Amino acid sequence: MKRRQFINLSTLSGFTAAIFSIITAPASLAFNRTMSEGADSARGVDQAATLFGATGIFTTISNVMLFIVGAISVIMVIVGGLRYVISGGNSSNITAAKNTILYAIVGLIISIMAYAIINFVLESFLPGSSGAGGGTNV
């Protein structure tokens, strides 16, 4: 036995009203906005508006990462110093402690150099920056 399915009249009228309101919506509501206006309205109160610059997202991320690398380097220098102090004159423990301190300092220097290179490239080649390459020096 076949079972017939009926469309509920209220469901049909609600669906029709929704389609009609979408089709006839005024242009000033959402259709006339640009993509940047939509992004501006979706951004939170304390979020950065630009990707680059002093308050840009990339600057904030690189500053946080540089802080984390610096903190880890300081911790590793302290660990290497403690290993050196408690080595008890064992030459292999002293060498391992010196290597820990050396690698922590080398890692810190490499991270600072990477930060400087990134800032140099961004300031030199991005339009509107104060660098010598692509900036507008007015």
Structure confidence at residue 58 (pLDDT):
76
- Give the separation between CA 97 and CA 104, rounded to whole angstroms: 11
Per-residue confidence (pLDDT) for residue 135, from 0 to 100? 46
96 pLDDT above the threshold of 80: yes
- Contact between 105 and 73 (Cβ < 8 Å): yes
Nearest to 59 by CA among 134, 118, 112, 124: 118
Which three-class secondary structure state does DSSP give residue 97? helix
Contact 110, 65 (CB under 8 A): no
What pLDDT, on the 0 to 100 scale, is given for residue 128? 59
- Long-range residue pairs from 112-116, CB within 8 A, at least 24 positions apart, any chain: 112/66, 115/62, 115/66
- pLDDT surpassing 60 at residue 99: yes
pLDDT-derived band at 28 (thresholds 50, 70, 90) equals very low
Residue 33 to residue 37: CA distance in whole angstroms: 6
Q: Residue with structure tokens 């020096």?
A: 137
Q: Does the reported pTM lie above 0.75? A: no
Q: Mean pLDDT for the chain? A: 75
Q: How confident is the model at residue 133 (pLDDT cuts 50, 70, 90)?
A: very low
Structure tokens at 22: 């979408």
In the chain, % of residues over pLDDT 70: 54
- Maximum alpha-carbon separation in the chain: 94
Question: What one-character DSSP code corresponds to residue 128?
Answer: T
- Most confident segment among 9-18, 32-41, 81-90: 81-90
CA-CA distance, 131 to 120, in Å (whole number)? 8
